Chains A and B, each alone.
Chain A
Amino acid sequence: MAYTAQKPKIAYDTHELRNRIVGWGVDLDPKNRPAVPKEKFNANTGAHWDFPERQVERWPREKSPEHKFLTPVFGTACPPKGLSGAVRRYAYTFSEGRTAHWLLLLGADRLDVIESRLGALLRGRPDNPITETGVLSEFKRHGIRSRIGQHRADIKHQAVDLLLFAATYAAIGSAVYSLGRAVARGARTDR
């Protein structure tokens, strides 16, 4: 037991394991483990440059201030756009160590969703909550049977999802209503 020097007998006999489990102990020797030691110098990574050639920067690419310069290669998916893009660019004035950096990015993500949904609506290809959430798989892939009587811990808080979903739409509805009312009031005052 733990209260004396001897380790308690809490594991199986390793000779028996060797017979029972295919490959047992083949990497017992740390020499066989590829990530040991943690840092292993390798001159043959496939790179044939000391520093990579630079990718062309086609728009002012946002970068972490914790980098000395724009990395020689970078992703070009989804350049920042609109109000969310402005918030993202501002977020990248803060280092990764600052909470503001991450909270601004999370905020920009939510703005991006609103902008993108409105944009899709105006372009005539509105978002479809039924197909995009994949919710129809609930009927094809045993939605009820996958949950009932399964000891699942996540069932307990799924009501929160519905609450948050409803609260989001209630907040948007309330904002639209207040805006509409303010506009109507303004129009009446002008007359």
Chain B
Amino acid sequence: MRAMVYRGPYRVRVEEKEIPSIEHPNDAIVRVTRAAICGSDLHLYHGMMPDTRVGMTFGHEFTGIVEAVGASVQNLQRGDHVLVPFNISCGSCFFCVRELYSNCHNTNANASAVGGIYGYSHTAGGYDGGQGEYVRVPFADVGPSKIPEWMDEEDAVLLTDACPTGYFAAELGEIKEGDVVVVFGAGPVGLFSAKSSWLMGAGRVIVIDHLDYRLEMAKRFAQAETINFTEHDDIVMHLKKITDFLGADVCIDAVGCEADGSFFQVLTSSKLKLQGGSPVALNWAIDSVRKAGNVVAIGGYGPLFSAVKFGDAMNKGLTIRTNQCSVKRHWPRLFEHVKNGVLKPSEIVTHRIPLEEIAEGYHIMSSKLDHCVKPLVLPQAA
């Protein structure tokens, strides 16, 4: 089969690989019909995530058709068209039975801090991902779900990570009616966080970024106020002024470890790898939220330490909430929202890239060319 493979920082190519096989009785083999490049794939692409091995296939957002199932699979059969959550979860451990699927303890041999994730380095379990023609899907009875007939496949692929993760960020913010919510980052997760904040009753939603075209999308897609932080000497000060010196009730860091806005932080993280990530957005969130407010860290960070302003967080009495989204838990409610027209996830798709051109897809996404927000990948076998 053809599949994207990692060749080192900033380099990927498409190679012939063996079609994956059933390795466990509850495995399924899925022929990928749609995949996506996620903003967090860029952390791998940029060499930020420890134990990212040459030859690995990335891709944790994908949909496809079941080609084969293991002997113990009961809920799926060959030919089913499925969406697959980015979490690999056993359904039976301490965490899964509490619906914390992203924290599964039985699927990631390499680390106890995170559950298994498709195509997300060995730090997340060493599973190949969906940016290829076929993918092995462990615990087929737990993770995947059949795509409802009424659902568009491009909406489905965005329901495997970006949309639920953004919605989950708003949930973690514990938004109350009339709250002021500031979302740092107008990438896919930031856009869904902003949109979801309204569903939870926010009274004002402000999105911060440095890319004008993404801020335009935040206005259009999420009906949010937008601010380009490069137009202000001090974005925290500006946010204080527009909230009458109180601060926002909830701040969401939807950027993660490659946040821009501080040369020192970028140099010591993305460039020199001296810290697990550049916590510029997280620090801005801590400084911009009001005392006793809620800060949500939903953008991905590496496992190494980062220079976070924890003293301010402590002094302000903040609640900081984080986690990888447990996608499946969110599907019933989000399926309703998509069906009722409350959410249309595919509105943020900007590029559709054939698998053979995926190296250019990564470059476009990484360098923010051509107004790229969300690129989908179309495997040839589809």
Hey, which bits of chain A sit against chain B, CB under 8 A? 1-3, 7-12, 14, 17, 20-28, 30, 32-36, 38-43, 45-53, 55-56, 61-64, 66-67, 70-78, 88, 91-92, 96, 99, 102-103, 105-106, 108-110, 112-113, 115-117, 127-129, 131-138, 140-143, 146, 150-154, 156-157, 160-161, 164
Q: Are A25 and B97 in contact (CB under 8 A)?
A: no
Most buried by A among B50, B100, B172, B245: B50
- Min CB–CB distance B72 → chain A (angstroms): 7
| Complex contact B24–A73 (CB within 8 A) | yes
Bound-complex Cα distance A51 to B26 (A): 12
Q: Which residues of A contact B142 (CB under 8 A)?
A: 45-47
Instruction: Contact check, B210 vs A56: say whether CB atoms are below 8 A apart.
Output: no
Q: A25-B199, A66-B112 are in contact. Are A78 and B54 (CB under 8 A)?
A: yes
Q: How many A-B residue pairs have CB under 8 A?
A: 320
- A contact face: mostly helix, strand, loop, or mixed: loop
Flag if B261 contacts A134 (CB, 8 Å).
Answer: no
Q: Are A35 and B330 in contact (CB under 8 A)?
A: yes
Closest to B359 in A: A134
Q: How far is the CA of A52 from the CA of B72 in the complex (A)?
A: 11
Which residue of the partner chain, among A41, A47, A152, contacts B92 with CB atoms under 8 Å? A47
A78 and B53 form a contact (CB under 8 A) = yes
Q: Across the interface, do A116 and B370 meet the contact criterion of CB distance under 8 Å?
A: no
**Of the candidates B109, B200, B210, which one forms a contact with A151 in the assembled complex, judged by CB atoms under 8 Å apart?**
B210
Q: If A1-B245, A105-B50, A138-B369 touch, does A27 touch B200 (CB 8 Å cutoff)?
A: yes
Out of A23, A36, A115, A141, which one reaches B370, CB within 8 Å? A141
Known contacts A9-B244, A28-B177, A136-B360; 9 further A-B pairs (Cβ under 8 A): A24-B198, A52-B24, A73-B139, A113-B8, A113-B54, A116-B8, A127-B8, A138-B367, A161-B271
Contact between A77 and B106, CB atoms less than 8 A apart = no
The answer to the question of B273 belonging to the interface, with a C-beta cut-off of 8 Å to chain A, is yes
DSSP class of B's interface residues: helix, strand, loop or mixed? loop
Bound Cα distance from A76 to B100, whole angstroms: 24
Can you list 19 A-B pairs, Cβ within 8 angstroms, ordered by A? Answer: A11-B204, A23-B340, A27-B199, A33-B333, A35-B168, A40-B98, A43-B97, A45-B92, A47-B90, A48-B72, A51-B106, A63-B109, A72-B90, A73-B88, A77-B55, A113-B7, A133-B11, A146-B371, A154-B210
